[in-house]
Structure 1
Amino acid sequence: MSNKGQIALVTGGSRGIGSAIVEELSVAGYTVVINHRDSERDAKALADRIGESLVVRADVADPDAVRAMAEQVLGAYGRLDVLVNNAGATMPGDWRTLDPSAWRRCLEVNLTGVFRCIQVFGPILAGTGRGRIVNIGSTYAGMGVGAIAAYAAAKAGVASLTALFAKELAPEVTVNLVAPGNIDTAMTRSVGPEFVESVIAGTPLRRLGEPAEIAALVRFLVSGEASFITGQTVVSDGGHALK
């Protein structure tokens, strides 16, 4: 099926995995809305590279900002076909000393932000008759890592929301989750070099994943080829979670 005329929104789309998803969907023929919170320069540079697109600044944790983003998207295109909930923040820190404000912010962005976006955009996607939602989760959701306790807890919540909305929005919208392992992004490397070295050593494929590899999975899940897949988690972690 041709994707010409179809609109895709990628939250947190200016950098890392998000920017790779934006580029992948653009190549696949979608017109992409690039959401960011505070990286206007990166978002505009990405928009210049891919051509026709829309840059929208919004904090997904702010319900008013999400509603305003929906108004911008509908005002520009009158529809939305694909929502990729990618916006995220790790907030690393030992669970014993993690600041309450960091805990709250991590859950607001990674979990509440996903809920707010689906709450607002879900009915719009349903109106197309073949809407697609892909949530970006993490294999750390079920691994119990104290250094990223808030992030892991939030991503576990996203897995629950994926199952919930796969039921609630069917049959008009499919909802799936891509669970990356350790991907070579600034977010991953912000945890520290010792962390990066340890996860590579513990990964059977002995490397970090590439953002483009996650983007390819997203492109498949929003395609017509994946029309009978919903409520599922697709893991891409180089075997890191194998016991």
Structure 2
Amino acid sequence: MLSTKVAADTTPSTRNYDDNVAVDTKKKVDRARGNITQRRCLIDNIWNAHVVDYAHVYEADGKKDGLISKLERSWNVKSGTLNSNTRRNIFRLSAKLHRLFDEEKWLLLPETKIVDQYYEHYREAGYADEFPVIKDLSFNYTLVAHPDMRQVAIHRRVEGVDINTPGAFKTFIYPFDTFPVIVSHVHPCFVICNSGQKLKDYDKIVAFRKGDTDQRKKRIARIQSFSKRLDGW
């Protein structure tokens, strides 16, 4: 069920990175079915209350109310009930990765079968009155980084290894081609909206596609197509 609380204005330009997520919402995120990382950062797999934030995948603020209304119509959701404070739109990120995510330095890319479901609907119908219903508890995502991430390494905690040993962390560098598949409870509808916003400009599309396989490029192109259609409704 989507939250009916009013979302705060927490866009990258105005966001306060102290706690802007309500306590009851945090508990729902931590207990969300399909949230296998629980309180740990989705990307580096660490947990520390002082450095791991609750991050929104897609932000709904005053500037984007028009788009939210379009999405409500598209997904056949009651008007005024869709906002960014649902647990299916919030995940945990370390402070550094949270800021880089909001600054459009990396995005999550849904797996091919999910992207294809959304794309085929848009291609055939041109609108989404009967948007595909996807009720999975967790989803697979690929981390895709902007070239500005060249100087940012990700040190990911290795499961089952003593934290006090040298092998407790594995380092990944741009373009992160060997980074493992990311499994999360966040819903692809929010991920697609976030990634689509990041892929609106041609320069961004070119940047994010560098180093990617043909299959990833196809998914990126289709998500960018979603974004253009949403803007045109």
TM-score (norm 2): 0.25
Q: TM-score, normalised by structure 1?
A: 0.25
More helix, by proportion: 1
